Chain A
Amino acid sequence: MSMGAEHQITAGFMPLFDSAVLVAASELGFAAREGIDLTLHRETSWANIRDRIAIGHFHLAHMLGPMPLACNLGLTPLASETIVPFSLGLGGNCVTISNAVWAGMAAHGAEPDLDPARAGAALGALIRESAAAGRDPLRFAVVHPHSGHNYELRYWLAACGIDPTREIEIVIVPPPFMADALATGRIDGYCVGEPWNSAAVAAGTGHIVTVKAQIWRNSPEKVIGVRKVWAEQSPDALAALLRALHHSARWCQDPANHGELAAVMAQPGFLGLPPAVQMPILTGHLQLGGGAALDIDDFFLPFDKAANFPWKSHALWFYTQMVRWGHVEHTPGNLTIARDCYRPDLYRSALKPLGVALPGANSKVEGALRVATAVGATGAGLVLGPDGFFDGQIFDPDEIEGYIAGQKSARAQP
């Protein structure tokens, strides 16, 4: 409670680890230092977050990257125009499967190495074997239809020759229920953020077979979605908040602070889980199940590699996947809506006074950087990438028509 704070901001979040930058901004004083009295509300569903933003209870919220696009494209029952001036991090998700599916995949050559191509080939062989034997298709769960989880799971499967619309079933399950649904056999696998993958591994009921950081390295996940009306009325408050989030994200990235961050997130009002459960996402050291463990590069980045920059190319890639899976029709109007949703201009203007490294462009060719690369930027040096898709595909936002046409033809024929 800062008496007489210059800006009053109310924000919603879901109890997931990638709300950390927002939570730390409130709990460690980064918001207060920018003159903001930041009030956080924990929610129980993305639908609630959407509704409360729409009716103005919240000025902004922790959101799934594609969610603001879905709102602006009219795909949700209730919506207000939502913009994205800040990204809450890159990576952080895994694909976890049941022990039974893992045994089946292992028989088809899967290794505990998280290699998406190898795991996908084994899963494909298992799926065809099951289909030939007349068994029900495998059921996978994601957290929301308009989520990075849904799109990266489908991307991975499709690139491995599995049609996610016909050869498996995809259902929606809230993150905290995933491990339990897997253990009781209601689902066979899922794609979700941490700590809900490590939870299944720790319980001995699941195996992590691949991770977001390997399907598409340094790829977008959660964002700050802002009510556009409020952003236009309160540009100073928004800029102050973006600076607070920037300082918070830098603090969250620093390994020296990981213990304290895990302790903050462990509080019942935030994640409410023991600090130890949060260490895999912070360290990238994951137990995969069956005693295997791996250190994953760039598993989750809350700050490094320009993790907070709201790249228009990220939004546009989500848009191509919405088109691909029939969530939205590709029209010039919809493309414009998708292009206008993420707002690097607001990020840049808010952070300019800090003299920090800022990307010079609003978009980049996704998948073009095979190694970490210093890029031209204002301010101090900025390192991006590697940002490759596991199948070697490139997404050039200037060639969006070709990309959409190409992925349509890559889909299994009905």
Chain B
Amino acid sequence: MALIKDVAKVCKSKNAGPFELTIDVVFDTAEMFNRVKATGVLCPALFARLYDVPEEYVLFTPYDAAFAFKATFPRLVPAGDFGDTDVYGCQQHAPLLDVDLPI
């Protein structure tokens, strides 16, 4: 078992436009990327659960060329609207750090 924060090289969040948040998890070797991919843990359902969004709103894309996984889903509040806590969306990654990967 391994936590994402111990095996990933990048785990970050950011706006993808004012209405969506995008989260990237990047590994530094094809070998590690493929091992993680094979577990199936990183998937739309994981993001739906961690961020409380309907699964069908999660656009999930493994990107083999970059050894990366990307998930994009609606922000809780549009950037800059009343109640937004993170205008740039760059501090929304923490729940992923402790996700345990059976590798």
Partners in one complex: no
